[in-house]
Amino acid sequence: MALDLVQSLVINTVLCGTLSGLAYRRDVLTWDGTLAAFAVGMVIGVLGDVTWLFLLLFFLLSSFLATRYRFALKEAMGVQEGERGERRAANVLANGVAPMAVAVLSSLGLPWFPKEASGIVFLSALAVAGADTLASEIGILSRRVYMITTFEHVSPGTDGGISPLGQLCALGASLYTAVVGWFALFGLASAYGLALTMPARASFISIPILIGFVGCQVDSVIGATLERRKLVSKKTNNLISTSLGAALAYALLVAWGGLTL
């Protein structure tokens, strides 16, 4: 059965407070990033579902591990995130606005956006963010970097640059985000009698797998065009890519008949 509002508020407040505090203590987030993460987590956990909050934690953890991977080398290259890999509020919101919007829509009882299928869209937005983070943080260590629009060789860290290693990481991140997401949103929810926010058919995980990888490519194209011309920032690029990923996932869900399940 679904949690009532009071139960949801209590559980999510405890979880978000504890996890945000730990993230701050471990230098995963700055103080403003911690506040932003708490707010994002509360919106997603209360208006979406508590299982969505677990996936948000999974994304945060995997992103932090990727950021800290060979961090000394990234520092030497001058391409590290923050001083110790920590994320600020702008980073949190850039990747959190689209999932929050999905959570808000899922809570409104709209006939064209049923709660039972909303998890697919949420998971797809998260897959885009995860794919882009791993492709950037791991792929940046590769020497074989090419501009996505021209395929000419460029330096690691160049906006719009892609590498075979980064592409593999993007695909891997999309895959494991989708698989873990299905187990959480359907398997875990079924086991504990929580509200289901994802169709039972495991084949639907192909949507976030596809969207995660494609969304990462969109991020790179925007980086090669608008970002290199200083028309958008990296954070704005993340926001556009995750939002577009969520919209494309919804379109695929409609085309596949997922809203009737």
Mean pLDDT on 170-192: 92
**Domain limits for position 254:** 5-260
- Counting the structural domains of the chain, the total is 1
The pLDDT mean for the chain works out to 89
Helices (H) and strands (E) in the chain, counts: 10, 2
- Tens of pLDDT, residue by residue over 38-92, are 999 999 999 999 899 989 888 888 888 887 777 777 777 666 665 565 778 999 9
Q: State pTM to two decimals.
A: 0.92
Most confident of 4-13, 80-89, 204-213: 204-213
Q: How many Cβ atoms sit within 10 Å of the Cβ of residue 176?
A: 17
Query: Residue 61 is which amino acid?
Result: L
CA 243/CA 187 separation, integer angstroms: 26
Beta strands in the chain (DSSP E): 146-147, 161-162
